[in-house]
């Protein structure tokens, strides 16, 4: 199948798979968000099924790649009743109309999206980590038809692999899938994920506040300098941030609406986050423990324990599948991850915390104004309104920061200025949501909506 047809076909399979899964969770949200979440969930499932093909010794070829995209769609057929409702919901007429102030944002976004897609399609892989790991393994998956390929067995690379070829497998599997489709030298899927995630952030913001304020916050997010640079680069951090942010968004919405469906759906995305970056299991664990205390009050201890047990269980399963099963029973060589684990020391933790603030979080050249606007919004909320909006969101932001500090303290390979800087990608969209949910901004949004209604009446 030519790549021009192969890519839309595989993406359609991803959407259908994701729709089946979200339909089974009985998730109800807006059309744009449903569509995008379906695609992300489908990508995760496809990559996992593709790895399972290798585990059961099915040669990884273009045929097995296409079949591994189709099979999950067939498996979700038992949930077709709910999926059909979800798909019908996608066909419903739009409730939103495009306003004049949306046009500049649509124009600028469209232009930037074009450049992101072009750059991810045009340029070959350039980051060192990707050339030494993700893309190198993917190249030999295509040549040797297995993940246990020459990269792990050839004498010239013995003892020289370091940790890059052993990174959590999502990016490597997606890169392999794209090579089988026909995109042999680039990272076009990274551009697709970046564009779709940016639209997701905009859609969430439009749900929360007046479209004009949503547009301002969306542009602040989209043009965040450091994060923007990774929208077309093959690395694990951006895709990991995508899954983590969606997981947190769903759990936060679950808390806001007392919805078990949202929490169930979040388990898929947290598992995908653990499938895309190793240390994420730590962040998910901390976040779930903190959330459990909150959800015990609204859902009861038993229901909350079952839900959060399933989130942690699914995340742990994906972690174990790669880091325990694949490493120990399939790969002939093992990473030296154990050597990189250093015991927790308070001195190192304090050093990581202070360095994170001075070299990463406070850097305007990395994050623009987002961090400072967030701090102002939260402080103003506390001082003026004596409350914290969206507590669950703040709990997860705190959990992620704590998790990153812990990861920075116990992994010798985690360099604050690099690893934790890219770890911040998980926080930037969440900070944008937190700004939008602050009392200061929601009050302004309500006033703007009321003014607009008066004008149009």
Rounded CA-CA distance 237/245 in Å is 12
Q: Choose which of 220, 242, 271, 414 interacts with other proteins (CB under 8 A).
A: 220
Place of tokens 């099924």: 49
Q: Choose which of 6, 42, 211, 368 interacts with other proteins (CB under 8 A).
A: 368
Greatest Cα pair distance, the chain, in angstroms, is: 76
The structure tokens listed for 28 are 């109800």
Q: Give the nearest distance from C-beta 380 to other proteins in angstroms.
A: 16
Q: Give the nearest distance from C-beta 126 to other proteins in angstroms.
A: 5
Q: Which is closer to other proteins, CB of 133 or CB of 403? A: 133
Q: Choose which of 91, 94, 97, 160 interacts with other proteins (CB under 8 A).
A: 160
Q: Which is closer to other proteins, CB of 149 or CB of 381? A: 149
- Please count the other Cβ atoms lying within 10 Å of the Cβ belonging to residue 316: 16
Residues 108-127 binding other proteins (CB under 8 A) are 111-112, 115, 118-119, 122-124, 126
- Measuring CA to CA, which residue among 294, 284, 213, 203 is closest to residue 243? 284
CA atoms within 13 Å, Cβ hemisphere of 12: 7
DSSP conformation letters of 254-314:
HHHHT-HHHHHHHHHHHHHHHHH-TTHHHHHHHHHHHHHHHHHHHH-HHHHHHHHHHHHHH
* 133 scored as a contact of other proteins (CB under 8 A): yes
With 0-12 CB in 10 A as exposed, 13-18 as middle and 19+ as buried, what is 107?
exposed
Q: Which is closer to other proteins, CB of 89 or CB of 145? A: 145
* Total residues interacting with other proteins, rule: CB under 8 A: 48
The structure tokens listed for 367 are 């994050």
* 151 scored as a contact of other proteins (CB under 8 A): yes
* 237 scored as a contact of other proteins (CB under 8 A): no
Place of tokens 């750059």: 119
Site string for other proteins, 83-102 (x = CB under 8 A): ------------------x-
**Where do contacts with other proteins occur on this chain (CB under 8 A)?**
101, 104, 111-112, 115, 118-119, 122-124, 126, 128, 131-133, 135-136, 139, 150-151, 154-162, 164-165, 184-185, 212, 215-216, 219-220, 223, 225-226, 228-229, 364-366, 368-369
């Amino acid at each position: 199948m030519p790549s021009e047809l192969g890519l839309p076909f595989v993406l359609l399979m991803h959407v259908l798979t994701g729709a089946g899964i979200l339909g089974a969770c009985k998730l109800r949200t807006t059309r744009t968000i449903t569509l995008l979440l379906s695609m992300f969930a489908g990508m995760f499932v496809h990559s996992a099924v593709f790895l399972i093909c290798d585990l059961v010794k099915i040669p990884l070829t273009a045929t097995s790649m296409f079949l591994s995209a189709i099979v999950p769609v067939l498996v979700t057929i038992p949930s077709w009743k709910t999926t059909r409702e979800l798909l019908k919901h996608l066909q419903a007429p739009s409730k939103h109309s495009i306003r004049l102030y949306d046009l500049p944002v649509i124009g600028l976004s469209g232009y930037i999206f074009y450049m992101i897609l072009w750059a991810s399609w045009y340029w070959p892989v350039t980051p060192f980590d990707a050339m030494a790991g993700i893309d190198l393994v993917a190249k030999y998956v295509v040549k040797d038809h297995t993940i246990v390929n020459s990269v792990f067995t050839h004498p010239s690379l013995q003892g020289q692999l370091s940790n890059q070829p052993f990174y959590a497998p999502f990016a490597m599997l997606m890169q392999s899938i794209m090579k089988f489709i026909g995109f042999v030298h680039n990272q076009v899927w990274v551009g697709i994920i970046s564009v779709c995630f940016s639209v997701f952030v905009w859609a969430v913001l439009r749900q929360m506040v007046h479209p004009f304020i949503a547009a301002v916050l969306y542009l602040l997010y989209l043009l965040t300098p450091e994060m923007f640079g990774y929208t077309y680069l093959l690395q694990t951090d951006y895709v990991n941030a995508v899954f983590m942010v969606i997981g947190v968004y769903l759990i936060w919405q679950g808390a806001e609406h007392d919805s078990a469906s949202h929490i169930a759906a979040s388990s898929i995305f947290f598992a995908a986050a653990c499938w895309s970056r190793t240390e994420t299991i730590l962040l998910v664990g901390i976040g779930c423990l903190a959330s459990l205390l909150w959800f015990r009050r609204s859902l009861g201890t038993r229901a909350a324990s079952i839900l959060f047990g399933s989130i942690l269980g699914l995340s742990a399963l994906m972690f174990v599948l790669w880091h325990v099963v694949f490493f120990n029973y399939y790969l002939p060589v093992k990473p030296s991850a154990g050597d990189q684990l250093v015991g927790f020391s308070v001195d190192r933790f304090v050093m990581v915390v202070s360095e994170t603030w001075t070299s990463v979080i406070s850097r305007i050249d990395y994050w623009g104004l987002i961090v400072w606007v967030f701090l102002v919004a939260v402080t103003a909320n506390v001082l003026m309104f004596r409350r914290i909006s969206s507590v669950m969101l703040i709990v997860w932001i705190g959990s992620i920061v704590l998790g990153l500090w812990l990861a920075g303290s116990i992994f010798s390979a985690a360099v604050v200025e690099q690893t934790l800087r890219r770890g911040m990608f998980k926080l930037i969209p969440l900070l944008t949501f937190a700004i939008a949910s602050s009392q200061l901004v929601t009050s302004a949004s309500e006033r703007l909506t009321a003014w607009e209604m008066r004008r149009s009446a």
